[in-house]
Amino acid sequence: MTSAAALPTSATARVPAKINLELIVGPRREDGYHSLATVYHAVSLFDEVTVSAADEWGVSLEGPHAQGVPADATNLALRAARRLASAAGVEEPVHVRIRKEIPVAGGMAGGSADAAAALVACDHLWGLASGRDELAEIAGELGSDVPFLLGGGTAMGSGRGEVVAPVLARGTFHWVLALSACGLSTPEVYAECDRLRGSRRVPEPTPRRDMMTALRSGDARALASALVNDLQDAAISLRPKLGDVLEAGIDFGALGGIVSGSGPTVAFVVENNEAALDLAVSLTASGTVQDVRRATGPAHGAHIVAAPRAD
Ligand code: C5P
C-alpha cells in the first residue's frame, strides 16, 4: 500500500468496448455457461469510471447511454468495487460515477467494461498496487468478459470467456458500429442459440487458423472474410432487422460485417478512416441505422486517466 498522504482523492479509469472477431460457441456446460473459443478485440469507444471516497457505497450514471443501467447495489461496477474492497480489507466506501458511451445490452460488454474500470480505479485510489493476476481473478468472478477488458488489445478467450491469452495481431483496424436503441439480453441469445441447435451434437470449440493468419497479417480484407459469430443466427432470429443492417453495410461498401457478441450491435470492418466515414454517412442517410459510431482497434484496456491529489 502507498502512504495515505500520497493517495489521490479520486481516480478515473477509461475502458474500451469490445467486439468479438470470432465467437465459436461450444456445448452448454453443467453450470449453464457455454464453452467458448473467442477472439476479443477492444475498440475505441470508451466509458469512464470515477471512484471517490464517500460516506456510503453508491453509484451514479451520466452520458448518452446511461439509461437502463441499474443505479443500485446490483450495478456490476459497484459490485466490482465492493468485491475488491473485501478482498483487500478496505473498509471505506466509495461512490462510483460512470460516464457511459458504450451501449447497454449491446453485445459490446458495456457492463463488464465498467466493472474492469472500477477495479483499476479502486486499486489506484486505495494504493493497493494489485497484480494483474489478482485483479483478473476477481474480474472472472464478476463476468466472463471482465478479465479481457483489464488488458484490452486483441486476445483469445477460452473457458466461458474468462481465460484470456494475447494473440499476435498487426496494425490497426477501422470499424463502423451500427448501434441499436433497444438491447438484447445475453442469456436469451444463448438460449435461442441452443434452441436453434436442437438436439444436434455440438463439438468443443476450437479457434480457427484463418483468423489467426488474418490477425498476423494485419490485412483488413483477410480479417473480413475470417469474421465468425455462432450467436449471429440467434441474434437475427430474435431481431430480424439485424439481417437488413448487415446487408446494408455490405451493399454500402464494408469489407465484412458481424453481429458483435450477443448483439444487437453490428460491427463493419472497412479499409481505412475515409471508408469508415463514407459507410457511416451512407448507413445514417439510408435510415437503416439511427446511431452509427466509428472506432479503431485494438484499444488499450482499463487504464487510469486522472487521479487528482488534495494538495
Ligand atoms: O458471464 P456473464 O455474466 O457476462 O454472462 C451472462 C450470461 O450469458 C450468462 O448468465 C449465460 O446465460 C450467458 N453466457 C453463456 N456462456 C458464456 C458466457 C455467457 O451461456 N460463455
| Measured distance CA(294)–CA(280) in Å, rounded | 7
| pLDDT the model gives residue 310 | 82
Residue-wise pLDDT tens digits, 152-181? 999 999 999 999 999 999 999 999 999 998
CA of 160 to the centre of ligand 1 (A): 7
Tens-digit pLDDT profile for residues 79-102: 999 999 999 999 999 999 999 999
Q: What is the DSSP string of 28-95?
A: E-TTS-EEEEEEEEEEEEEEEEEEEE-SS-EEEEESTT-TTS--STT-HHHHHHHHHHHHHT--S-EE
Instruction: List the domain boundaries for the chain.
Output: 4-167+301-306, 173-297
**CATH class label, 4-167+301-306:** alpha beta
Partnered with residue 42 across adjacent β-strands are: 18
Q: Please give the number of the atom of ligand 1 that sits closest to the Cα of 144.
A: 1
* Gap from CA of 148 to ligand 1 centroid (Å): 14
Q: Which listed residue (47, 114, 145, 230) is catalytic?
A: 145
- Note the pLDDT of residue 181: 87
Dist. CA 50–CA 244, nearest whole Å: 38
For strands 266-270 and 173-179, give the pairing: antiparallel
Residues facing 95 on adjacent strands? 52, 58
Give the pLDDT band (50/70/90) at residue 265.
very high
Where does 173-297 sit in CATH, by number? 3.30.70.890
18 belongs to the catalytic site: yes
How far does the centroid of ligand 1 lie from the alpha carbon of residue 283, in Å?
31
Specify the pTM. Answer: 0.96
Nearest CA to ligand 1 atom 8: 187
pLDDT digits (tens, 9 = 90+) for 232-251: 999 999 999 999 999 999 99
Q: State which H helix or E strand residue 111 sits in.
A: helix 110-125
Residues with beta carbon inside 6 Å of ligand 1? Answer: 33-34, 36, 143-145, 160-161, 186-187, 190
The model's pLDDT over 14-70, given as tens digits with 9 standing for 90+, comes to 999 999 999 999 999 999 999 999 999 999 999 999 999 999 999 999 998 888 899
145 catalytic per annotation: yes
